[in-house]
Structure 1
């Protein structure tokens, strides 16, 4: 089942929303996405965090930035559902909440680049995490222009930080960094159009008008990973997306993603996710059951 599209509510007097959510027990755990960017601080809770095809543990002070239309949820540990409340401080804003061209101004180049990266989901660490948490608690008490300035301060800190961890794989949403040069963009386009079948380094090198050896060095320097690793991550990311739909067999997904046999598919998948395809699918199954129940209740409200 696909993630649910949710509408984020805000007041008529605000251009973006700041909410402190408190639940008696667990978070709703609903697998969803929305058109807004999201910055979430876990105030109280622990469990499993799902962002795109990334799965990880979370605890208090977990700080995550979610790109627009990227599926995500936080699932509270079952042992803590009845014993404590769950709390999160969340900021939502749309890309054009200050106008369609605001983030394209030269002064906000770094922020625009950060927002593009956030399409994979970002975990904020270290001193940046500490500073952002402090700003998030402060913004709750602000209004008007001071509230807006505080949000821009947060975005500036995030854009300048090197204490960021990308979460979801490039293959999950087929992210392309538009700031790369034209040569690399052409290679990206070739990879995206052919990763489900056969991709050869020699063909990519021809597109870049370079020798295979020079291209291999160039690609690794620019992308911080070898060409083969990049392609396999795309294949695995796309496989994660198909597994989460629960519509295809593992064998079907294996060949759809361009792997030659199930054995190699299982090996590559586990090397990147630390889970077998079946284990990954089971981890997400409860999310889809919850989403299915939610949709059923929404379509058939009690009279």
Structure 2
């Protein structure tokens, strides 16, 4: 997930709001980090965030939306919108250079628009960011390159980089720009939910081969029925569907990054029955595990 900028110190207030310490000398805050990381958690903050995933694949959680990501994914997350990037990783694996991001307050962008009418199109970008705006294709590559380069630039140059990145979002073709969160989503539904969601995610990630609903509910300090309703309301997806996506994501990672037998990958992904594993895998990917491995081995 995201991080504080270089030289800043984030504080997590009971797992709810990430406070990014203001820097009087810079309005644009840049950072990078790996995964897993204590900073990679479901949370929100007042700043808008532009975020690049440089390696790995997984699921973006934003508001009530869930979408798969791969390396090169670029997203613009609006102010106070809860978010998290969950990577498909082999147990014990670390992605050392997964995340590159910057933070800027929405008020700063609006002051920029007031001073420079040429940037009036950024208002639409800001509105769409409230629903997690994600780029793909050439637009993602261009924005991602700008975001990486920002890390080597001085504060004044970073302002120019920010304008350039927002311009990419503004002019991205319709086929390379989409939102993740439902139009009717209200961020207030997530207020105070971070501790429970993060406890559940931590449990699921640590026990993906043997997840069960009662233990997930216990991790979140809730009854099973309360937790089920809570998870669906806040995460926008049912608990069982969420677990299935993460399990198939792990299977995909193991199939492409190891030479383990499919039967062992099946068990490590939480499936005791081969036919059930094959059925779930095909439903998510459109092919069998063996076909998926052959396809990616040929690339």
Q: Where on the TM-score scale, by shorter chain, does this alignment land: which range?
A: 0.5 to 0.7
Name which of 141, 144, 147 aligns with 2:152: 141
The number of aligned residues is 195
What residue is the counterpart of 2:126 in the other structure?
A: 115
> How far, CA to CA, are the matches of 2:18 and 2:161 in structure 1?
26
**CA distance in 2 between partners of 1:168 and 1:13 (Å):** 33
Structure 2 counterpart SS, 1:114:
helix
CA RMSD of aligned residues (A): 3.7
Q: State how far apart, in whole Å, the 2-side matches of 1:148 and 1:112 are.
A: 17
Which of 87, 103, 106 aligns to 2:113? It is 103
1:140 deviates by 1.3
Partner secondary structure for residue 98 of structure 2: strand
Instruction: State whether residues 78 and 129 of structure 2, in contact with CA within 8 Å, keep that contact through their aligned partners in structure 1.
Output: yes
* Residue equivalent to 1:238: none
Out of 49, 54, 71, the residue aligned to residue 60 of structure 2 is 49
CA distance in 2, matches of 1:278, 1:138: 39
CA distance in 2 between counterparts of 1:13 and 1:83 reads: 33
1:64 counterpart residue number: 75
Q: Is 1:93 the counterpart of 2:104 in the alignment?
A: yes
Could you say which structure has the larger radius of gyration?
Answer: 1
8 Å CA contact retained: 2:81, 2:187: no
* Structure 1 length-normalised TM: 0.54
Residue 279 (str. 1) matches residue 240 (str. 2): yes
- What residue ranges of structure 1 are gaps of 5+ in the alignment? 176-243, 254-265, 285-303
CA distance in 2, matches of 1:83, 1:21: 11
Task: Show the counterpart of 2:213.
Answer: none
Give the TM-score normalised by the residue count of structure 2.
Answer: 0.55
Say if 1:149 and 1:86 are closer, same or farther in 2 by CA, change over 3 A: closer
Question: Within 5 Å, which residues of 2 pair with 1:113-192?
Answer: 113-162=124-173, 163-173=176-186
Cα distance in 1, alignment partners of residues 93 and 86 from structure 2: 14
Question: Tell me, what secondary structure is at the counterpart of 1:88?
Answer: strand
Instruction: Give a deviation string over 1:95-137, Cα, whole Å, max 9, x none.
Output: 1236x64334643221011101110001101211111112112
**Structure 2: segments with no counterpart, 5+ residues:** 1-13, 189-219, 246-299
CA 1:17–1:26 in 2, change beyond 3 Å: closer, same or farther?
closer
Aligned match of 2:248: none
Residue 16 (str. 1) matches residue 20 (str. 2): no
* Secondary structure of 1:65's aligned partner: strand
Is contact 2:60–2:66 with CA below 8 Å preserved after alignment? yes
Cα deviation for residue 46 of structure 1 reads 2.5
Mapped partners of 2:187, 2:224: distance in 1: 20
Q: Distance in 2 between matches of 1:31 and 1:96?
A: 24
Deviation at 1:43, TM superposition (A): 1.5
Query: Which structure 2 residues correspond to residues 140-289 of structure 1 after superposition, within 5 A?
Result: 140-162=151-173, 163-173=176-186, 277-280=238-241
Q: Using the alignment, how far apart are the partners of 1:283 and 1:86 within structure 2?
A: 26
Q: Distance in 2 between matches of 1:144 and 1:29?
A: 25
